[in-house]
Amino acid sequence: MLIHIITLFPGMFEGVFQESILARAAARGLVDIRIVPLREFGLGTHRVVDDTPYGGGGGMVLKPEPIAAALESLDRRGRVVLTTPRGSLFTQNDALRLSREEVLTFICGHYEGVDERVSELLVDEELSIGDYVLTGGELPAMVMADAVVRLIPDVLGKDSLHTGDSHYEGLLEHPQYTRPREFRGMSVPEVLLSGDHARIQAWRRHMAREKTIQTRPDLLSRSGRAGAVTDSGTGRQGEGDDR
């Protein structure tokens, strides 16, 4: 996959894509992330990329010409995504959908926003990572790129490894444990030590639902799981909870 990120602040991406899974994916040729400095396409001697908004108001607005020029400089732009607080909420389903694209281009919004003609003429979709406002669209672009890249086949080593992650099936992930068996009086649930894989999977499904009910019940209503669900073999809520 080829990912372009058009940004006013290319320095923000230094190091982020050079560590961990993203770096390994790039080293193996599974993803190529290219940072495109928007300032290089600014107008005039001073490389101007913004201007005051028509109609008045505070702040500055990103001009359409530099963004259009940056896009036109790309050999391939693929699907173009604008990061903006007014965009649709980015979800795991979006990450999976975008991971199937051959080329992605993120435009990082900034200041008071981007000239509306960019959205109308140059962008395929607008996405947001949450109902809050950040200084710019760089952090959302990093988040989305990370979520997308880890879903590319072979990036995690096993194609199915991500299927147990939180949000993959509309639920949060079940609790995880490792050594030691006991820590400060709290023991690993016995079911995880049983070697009975059917019981373990049933416990994990049950606990994933319980975690979701406790902290993100909105996910259940969103995925249509709001009704009572009985997983096979999980009839005992306390199973595996003996400490």
Give yes or no: 150 in active site. yes
Statement to judge: residues 138 and 212 lie in one domain: no
Q: Domain for residue 163, yes or no?
A: no
Of the residues 150, 204, 205, 209, only one is catalytic, namely 150
What is 93-134 written as a DSSP string? HHHHHHTT-SEEEEEE-BTT-B-HHHHHHT-SEEEESSSS--
Spell out, as residue ranges, where the chain has pLDDT lower than 70: 158-169, 223-243
pTM, to two decimals: 0.81
Give yes or no: 165 in active site. yes
Statement to judge: residues 176 and 134 lie in one domain: no
Give yes or no: 85 in active site. yes
State the total domains in the chain.
Answer: 2
* Beta-carbon contacts of residue 219 (< 8 Å; ≥ 6 apart): 167, 170, 171, 172, 212, 225
Statement to judge: residues 140 and 30 lie in one domain: yes
Residue 69: give its domain's CATH number: 3.40.1280.10
Distance of CA 169 to the CA centre of its chain: 15
Q: Domain for residue 185, yes or no?
A: yes
- Domain with 66, as residue range(s), is 2-149
Q: What DSSP element (H or E) covers 42?
A: none
Give yes or no: 86 in active site. no
Statement to judge: residues 64 and 112 lie in one domain: yes
Statement to judge: residues 145 and 179 lie in one domain: no
Statement to judge: residues 192 and 99 lie in one domain: no
